[in-house]
Amino acid sequence: MHNYLDKVPAIRRLHASRLTENLGAFARAAFPVVFPNRKLIWSLAYDYLAEVLMLMARRDPNHKRVIWNQPPRTLKSFLASIAFPVWLWLHDPSHQFVCVSYSMDLSTELSLARRNLICSAWFQCLFGDRFQLASNRKDQFSNNQRGTMFATSAGARLMGFGFDTCIADDLTSPDMALSDSERTAANNWFDHTLRQRANDPASSAILVISQRTHELDVPGYLIETDEGTWTHIKIPLVAEEPTTYTFPRSGQVWNRPAGDVLMPKRFTQNVIAELKKRRMVFAGQYQQEPVSFEGNLIRRSDVKFFGGLDPATGIRDEARPESFDLVLVSVDCAFKAESHHDKVALLAIGIKGRKRYILEARNRNIDVLDTEDEIRRLRQKHQASVVLVEDKANGPAVITRLKQSFPGIIPVNPQGGKESRMYAASAEWQAGDWYVARGGGWVEEFIQQIIHFPRGRWDDLADAMSQASIWLQQHAQGAQLVPFERVERAGPLAWLRGVLAERPPAPVAQTQFWQPRPVLPVATRELDAEEAQAANDVVEGRGDTVAAIEKLMWGSIKDFME
């Protein structure tokens, strides 16, 4: 189109004038320039946001501090963080922007999109006479009329940089918002650093645009602590009640009846049904109504049973699978065995496809030796191939001793806080992927801990469960699970092969017998002292590794490896 406009200056000027007057029209025209391979599905929400931003550009008193909450992947960043700053430079090329996101990678990506839009042939054809870029960095550029666009991340230093308009686009990621320390750090940074960089506190504008991720994420914190300061606009994916939006500039009325879907062509009923399975994610990120963790992570109604009859209805539970893809034991260790300390929690879990079955649970005040005995018992009883042991408290001692006896011991270093780990695990319970054995004496204790988290007196079993859930999410996809019966036939060499797949010693890697494969460590009978020493020699690369392998061999090593 720009070639045609180039030939018709009058039409080009008229078209440029129309786009300069209306941010919504500018965004629609710029979309194929920024995303040439994507189809634009326009929504009235975009026209509404465009009018809010146009009033912000004019420093309307009611739109200098705006919080806008909208579901993910609905083009809010394109409109607010890419199109709007470029459009505003058409009116005021001297305008200074600070654009912030939770990570520098995201901030840089948005900065590049703004710069590429300005440098595009389309933009230069229509607006090339308005300003020229002076500096041209990925994260910071300016024009010849002293306008600047500076991209940074939450928590960064901003000394020396100021803004006429600040665009805070997703200051915390969903994972960050679940961490008390990271969430508090983002809120404090906003208060103590970002606010202070306004060029003119009386007129400078701030837009906070995001999906909701927690009751006290940045939008929630600002609404609670700055009551009356912010204009708060929330656009849920599905209207839960009849809602009327009156556009602040044109007066256009947008009526959303109860059940109305924001973008029905993209968010079909099947898509929405799948999203609703993750109850807390849907409430916060899609409906913009984050709920308290207490009583909402896992509810009693989320707990499903297997292997028995529902006493209230007489309906038979899900049957226990005849075999599992994998059985693991998850262990949450304690510091001491005294009754006033946290207890040791042990779970035996069977995995079949995406389903997880709690086979047995134990939560006791026991010392290191008793913990080892209990792990041995559960492992043998349920033919577990993997034992996950938290590498905290007494965990390192347990790990060291058990590794000398049998394979499949995996140290787990927990990442993030307990709440964030439980949040990640709770989505699987809400989706109906977890089952608990009916009738065991331990069942109610386990259920009480997971449904009362994080306010319950004890949470050891909940920690052991979330540990297993996260490990499976990180490791089970694409893994080749070795059947237990093959392990029994193949002996300790199967475990050795699993270890080598993760950490092959150089001497073995050169032999014709070993080929790396993505297998999980598997269990077998306990090794005797000679076998254990040979296995350790191979793993550590000591001595004659081929000879050590031969000591472990049951049958033909070549046939097994092939």
Q: Summarize pLDDT for 378-417 with one digit per residue, the tens.
A: 999 999 999 999 887 778 888 888 888 888 889 988 877 7
Interval 450-489: pLDDT, tens: 988 876 778 899 999 999 999 998 875 434 444 444 444 4
SS3 248: coil
Residue 158 pLDDT exceeds 60: yes
Interval 60-79: pLDDT, tens: 999 999 999 999 999 999 99
| Cβ–Cβ < 8 Å for 83, 40 | no
> Rounded to whole angstroms, how far apart are CA atoms 246 and 66?
16
In the chain, what is the greatest distance between 2 CA atoms, to the nearest angstrom?
A: 90
Residue-wise burial string across 141-175, b where 16 or more C-beta atoms lie within 10 A, e elsewhere: bbbeeebbbbbbbbbeebeeebbbbbbbbbbbbbe
Ranges of each domain in the chain: 2-276, 304-475, 484-561
Residue in the structure block whose two tokens are 């092939």:
562
Peptide bond into 454 cis (omega under 30): yes
Which amino acid is it at 460? D
> Rounded to whole angstroms, how far apart are CA atoms 52 and 165?
14
Residue 281 pLDDT exceeds 50: yes
CATH number of 2-276: 3.40.50
CATH number of 304-475: 3.30.420.240
Determine the average pLDDT of the residues in 300-309.
Answer: 92
> Rounded to whole angstroms, how far apart are CA atoms 465 and 449?
10
pLDDT for 229:
92
Are 2-276 and 304-475 the same fold in CATH?
no
Query: How far is CA 482 from its chain centroid?
Result: 30
| Cβ–Cβ < 8 Å for 329, 348 | yes
- pLDDT confidence band for 87 (50 / 70 / 90): very high
CA dihedral 165→288→28→143, nearest 10 degrees, is 20
Least confident of 20-24, 146-150, 248-252, 513-517: 513-517
The model's pTM is 0.64
CB atoms within 10 A of CB 273: 9
pLDDT for 392:
79
Report the DSSP pairing between strands 386-390 and 326-332. parallel
- CB < 8 Å & 24+ apart, contacts of 35-38: 35/78
Determine the average pLDDT of the residues in 141-165.
Answer: 94
Residue 14 pLDDT exceeds 70: yes
